[in-house]
Amino acid sequence: MKNLKTKIFEADNIHTILLRKAVKEQIIITTRTRIARNISGFRFNSISSNKEKKDIANIIKDVFFSAFSGKNYAFYNISRLSETQRRFLLEKHILSPEMVLQLYGKSLILKLNPSCQDKVVSIMINEEDHLRIQSTMPGLSVYKTYSDVLKLEKIFEKKLGFCFNNDFGYLTSCLTNVGTSLRVSIISHLPAVVASGRIDDFVKNLKKINCSIRGFFGENSEVIGNLFQVSNQVSLGKNEKQILDEMHAVCLNIIDAEKDAVRYLKKTRPAVVEDSIFRSYGMLKYAKMLCYGESLELLSMIKLGQILGILVNLKSFNFYQLISLLGESNIIMGVKNKIDLNDKNNKADKIEKIRAEIIRKKIFKDLNNNV
Amino acid sequence: MFCEFCKINEANVHLIKVVNDNIEKLNLCVDCLKNINFFPEEDFFNDLTKILSKIFEVDIKIIDKSENSKLFDFSNGVENKKCSFCGIDLNTIKAIGKVGCANCYREFKDVFIPIIKAIHGSTEHRGRIPLQSSKKIKIENELKDLKYRLKEEITVENFEEAARLRDTIKKLQKKLYLVKKMK
């Protein structure tokens, strides 16, 4: 019996070590899990009127105040937020792009987590579906994020009836989400896979096993900074556990692929890659203005240089933490000497200037001697 | 004269549409005729496309470039059927790529099944069941199972077991009736 226990413990241990390594090496940057629910008796948001949207928001608000009062949750009307705040939530992936287009009736419930700011549990109201419950955590944590989502769903389930059908499971306004309506999306940073030219095969293989691959900002977005969003395509015909298990396995494979590519690059040291890393180093060191996309591309190469051991004279930095500082709204909200939001030309210039400064401070050790 | 659509081939089909003294002309080649859906709203022209397809011995298909409509490829006649709850018709669903309400899934089930199968590779939900309807669904699933077993037992002429199963089915059906009534 003792033996068995220690064995289980060891297996657990290996698992956690692997996870920690993945976080440390920052291959899987974040895991996001979401489910969609529609309240029965209402039309879906694809065609619902403003009045219906308002009613839905009110119903959910009532449930929120009866069930969540006193806990660390907050309710926001999206239309009452400022544009910068909305942009901030969008950049943090808390709101989807659709949430900031037509604001009527759209609301957000957010779990406030002062101790751990990276973990975000939120509910989008009146997006494509009436309720979209999602949880985001740094690193690989497929199961944890799902359990967060499920906890919230159960609270709502006690008070609301959801659209459900014996054949198709939970009904959603888009046919691609029916069934469990569970979507696990991970954002992975794969500079070595890209630099070693393996990305095409990599994407093909993922598509073969029904995963969809997108850019950093989800649907229709470009790939920037070697960041890939990978998510499950199938939500019907499998139960939640199967989907979670599969996505977890996919993540472990992604980690393996990136590590393998790193080994390959360490061994061969292609001149093109090295050149590109040093060019990025130079650009970041001496550039006075940087736009968001460019800074992500450059930082990604610098990070690769660090992983490969080519660039040693740098501070060790957390790629995801750094890039999350670089969003436009984040810079506007964080600056002491305020940026004049009405002065459009100067605003963009000033933001780019501050962005370049932030990066220099975070990654270069001997800043004063060189700049 | 060149075809108005591909601008490569010689136009050998000339269509003239006259409505209230407005004249519209279309000059097409046979290849484009196959791919273009002209005047889709009018029944008369639907008939015309049929006639044309007979003359040229080609299949004239309605082809729309957006991806959503590729999924929603259904036979003539159902497009205008409306959902009795939300009032959306299949043409609108096709255009926006989204469903109107939960009832649509019931009314357009036959249209949706092949689409859902193409997306998910399955049409059977195996995941979580909502708390409120779980009791009913559990009984229904059990009933399905028992009825299947009953059939099997009868085919192998195991009547003793079949009788036992029949009694359990009756009990469950009563239970189901009560659960439904309670709701």
Name the packing angle between helices A292-308 and A344-363 (round to 10°). Answer: 10
Higher pLDDT, A58 or B3: A58
Other CB atoms within a 10 A radius of the CB of residue A223 amount to 17
Q: At residue A320, does pLDDT exceed 50?
A: yes
Mean pLDDT of chain A: 85
- pLDDT computed for residue A305 by the predictor: 93
* pTM given for the model: 0.74
What is the SS3 assignment for A199? helix
Phi, psi of A342 (to 5 degrees): -80, -25
Q: Which residues of B touch A236 (CB under 8 A)?
A: 116, 119-120, 122-125
Q: Identify residues of B whose CB sits under 8 angstroms from chain A CBs.
A: 71, 85-86, 88, 92, 96-102, 105-106, 109, 112, 115-116, 119-133, 137, 140
Beta strand pairing status for A120-125 and A131-138? antiparallel
Sheet holding A211-214: strands in order across?
A73-77, A107-111, A120-125, A131-138, A28-37, A182-189, A227-232, A211-214
- pLDDT computed for residue A105 by the predictor: 87
Contacts A–B by Cβ distance under 8 A: 120
DSSP assignment of chain B, as one string?
-B-TTTSSSBP-EEEEEEETTEEEEEEE-HHHHHH---STT-HHHHHHHHHHHHHHT--------SHHHHH----TTSTT-B-TTT--BHHHHHHHS----HHHHHHTHHHHHHHHHHHHS-----S---HHHHHHHHHHHHHHHHHHHHHHHHHTT-HHHHHHHHHHHHHHHHHHHHHHHH-
- CA R_g for chain B: 26
Nearest 5°: the CA angle A132, A135, A139 is 145
A162 touching B (Cβ < 8 Å)? yes
Cβ contact (<8 Å) for B98 and A173?
yes
Tell me what the mean pLDDT of segment A336-352 comes to.
76
Cβ contact (<8 Å) for A236 and B116?
yes
Q: How many CA atoms lie within 13 A of A142 on its CB side?
A: 24
Q: Which residues of B touch A178 (CB under 8 A)?
A: 105, 116, 120, 125
Q: At residue A68, does pLDDT exceed 50?
A: yes
Q: Which residues of B touch A161 (CB under 8 A)?
A: 130, 132
d(CA B52, CA B78): 23
A13 touching B (Cβ < 8 Å)? no
Q: Which residues of B touch A232 (CB under 8 A)?
A: none
- pLDDT computed for residue B60 by the predictor: 43
Chain A interface test: which of B74, B105, B128 (most A C-beta within 10 Å): B128
A182 touching B (Cβ < 8 Å)? yes
Higher pLDDT, A336 or A200: A200
- For chain A positions 103-142, those within 8 Å of chain B (CB to CB) are 128
Q: At residue A123, does pLDDT exceed 90?
A: yes
User: Counting runs of H as helices and runs of E as strands, what totals does chain A give?
Assistant: 13, 10
E-state strands within A104-255:
107-111, 120-125, 131-138, 164-165, 169-170, 182-189, 211-214, 227-232
Q: Tokens for B77, please give them.
A: 């006649």
Q: Fill in the DSSP letter of residue A177.
A: G
ipTM over 0.90: no
Q: Which of B105, B115, B128 sits opposite A165 (nearest CB)?
A: B105
- pLDDT computed for residue A282 by the predictor: 93
What is the SS3 assignment for A173? coil
A146 within 8 A of A182, measured Cβ to Cβ: yes
d(CA A222, CA B128): 34
Question: Amino acid letter at A322?
Answer: L
A169 touching B (Cβ < 8 Å)? yes
- pLDDT computed for residue B74 by the predictor: 56
Query: Each residue's pLDDT tens digit in chain B (183 positions)?
Result: 777 777 777 777 777 666 666 666 777 777 776 666 554 444 555 555 555 555 554 444 433 334 444 555 555 566 678 888 888 888 888 888 889 999 999 988 888 898 899 889 888 888 888 876 667 777 877 888 888 889 888 988 888 989 999 999 999 888 888 877 765
In tens, the pLDDT along A232-289 reads 999 999 989 999 999 999 999 999 999 999 999 999 989 999 999 999 999 999 999 9
Q: Which residues of B touch A176 (CB under 8 A)?
A: 119
**Cβ neighbourhood burial of B97 (10 Å; 0-12, 13-18, 19+):** middle
